[in-house]
Amino acid sequence: MSGDPVVEINAKDVGLEKIASGKVREIFKVDDETLLFVATDRISAYDVVLENVSATDTCQGSNSHLPTHDSSKNYHILNPSKGISGKGALLTQLSAHWFDLIKTNIPSLQLHLISLSLPPNIPPQTQPLLAKRSMQVRRHPILPIESIVRGYITGSAWAEYRVSGTVNGMRMPAGLRESQKLETAIWTPSTKAEAGAHDENISKERAGEILGEEVAGRVERMSLRLYEMARDYAEKRGILIADTKFEFGLDKQTNELVLVDEVLTPDSSRFWSAESYVVGQSQQSYDKQYLRDWLTSTGHKGKEGVRLPEEIARRTAEKYTEAYEKLTGKTWR
């Protein structure tokens, strides 16, 4: 990944109305049914967007958000923007790869992806900014839950299990160890929090109340099927998908589920190296876990305004690239 990170994309440069700006994506209206879904190079962890900083440059060393272990050092913002160069394009291209595989393996499932090309009339000077990181997608009402599937016990599931022997309130077998593969993958939905709030794990019953039993059942079955397909595909390529998050919309005409958002990227999944997997401990990972571990170990977890040291940004970029290359079998630029 190279070049300056792209973290902001203005409606005026694109020539389309911006209808939403998520933690990572910016969404523009193409027409009533179609959105331009643009992945920026921003990175978020624990629901907070991070900034870059170079350890060699100078700024206020007293900034309380800077790493405690380096508090004697001076920092400055390497690039006045946030983000990891090339990340947005990588997320979009990896999602597109999975959408293709899903189309082949689960042809009955509707996908929101229409095209990777840009809509007509984007100003020529903006086209390079949007190329590779954009998708035209069909606009759908989004179901208000995050549909998480876990094949291994880690993260918030491991934290809950250690305390109560349950995951999302579900009783689990006794004696599980950290990162252990589960007998069968489990569906562990969460709420979809508004900006600034945190998603909360919920029981299946609660998901049923929110979505209606029938829709919740379809979401669960489809999510497990998607996960199992992806898990088997990735395992052959040296990657274990420990867990992942899907989002679904509903087709207003047919009431069928539509797979939306990004799919099976390092932003929405935990990818582990199959080669170095060892049960009973936390794992080497290809995804944001690297960054999450740094945030946790330096006491920055969940804090606003944390700046990402250049080294962490570079290593995170390497991990994302490696994941892309292993999963697609293609070289990333």
Positions in the binding site for ligand ATP (CB under 6 A): 22-25, 27, 35, 44, 112, 137-140, 142, 247, 249, 260-261
Question: In terms of CB distance, is 25 or 54 closer to ligand ATP?
Answer: 25
Core vs surface per residue 174-206: b (16+ CB within 10 A) or e: eebebbbebeebbbbbbbbeeeeeebebbebeb
Kindly tell me which of 23 and 225 has the beta carbon lying closer to ligand ATP: 23
Q: Tell me whether residue 20 or residue 159 sits nearer to ligand ATP (CB atom).
A: 20
* DSSP per position, 16-45: SEEEEE-SSEEEEEEETTEEEEEE-S--EE
Q: Which residue spans within 56-214 are E strands per DSSP?
A: 110-111, 113-115, 134-138, 145-152, 166-167, 170-171, 181-187, 190-191
For ligand ATP, give the closer residue by CB, 176 or 257.
257
DSSP structure string for 229-274 = HHHHHHHTTTEEEEEEEEEEEE-TTT--EEEES--S-TTTEEEEES
Residue 164 C-beta: closest distance to ligand ATP, Å: 26
Kindly tell me which of 137 and 313 has the beta carbon lying closer to ligand ATP.
137
Q: C-beta of 26: minimal distance to ligand ATP in Å?
A: 8
Looking at the Cβ atoms of 60 and 255, the one nearer to ligand ATP is 255
Name the nearest CA neighbour of 307 among 58, 69, 3, 78. 78
Instruction: Please give the DSSP secondary-structure letter assigned to residue 70.
Output: G
Task: Please state, in angstroms and rounded to a whole number, the distance separating the CA atoms of residues 142 and 159.
Answer: 29
Q: What is the longest distance spanned by two Cα atoms in the chain?
A: 60
Least CB distance to ligand ATP at residue 202 (A):
16
Q: For residues 25 and 66, which CB has a smaller minimum distance to ligand ATP in the complex?
A: 25
Taking the complex as a whole, the smallest distance from the CB of residue 29 to ligand ATP amounts, in Å, to 10
Handedness of CA 11, 110, 249, 285 (dihedral sign): negative
**Residue (40 or 179) nearer to ligand ATP, CB:** 40
Least separation in angstroms between CB 85 and ligand ATP: 18
Torsion angle in degrees (nearest 10) through CA of 275, 223, 197, 138:
110
Residue that is written with structure tokens 């579900």 in the block = 170
Minimum CB separation of residue 233 from ligand ATP in Å reads 22
289/158 Cα distance (integer angstroms): 14
Minimum Å gap between C-beta 178 and ligand ATP is: 25
Please report how close the Cβ of residue 177 comes to ligand ATP at its closest, in angstroms: 29
Q: Which residue is nearest to ligand ATP (CB)?
A: 22
Q: How far is the CB of 139 from ligand ATP (least distance, A)?
A: 5
In whole angstroms, what is the distance from residue 89 CA to residue 103 CA?
21
CB closer to ligand ATP out of 7 and 137: 137
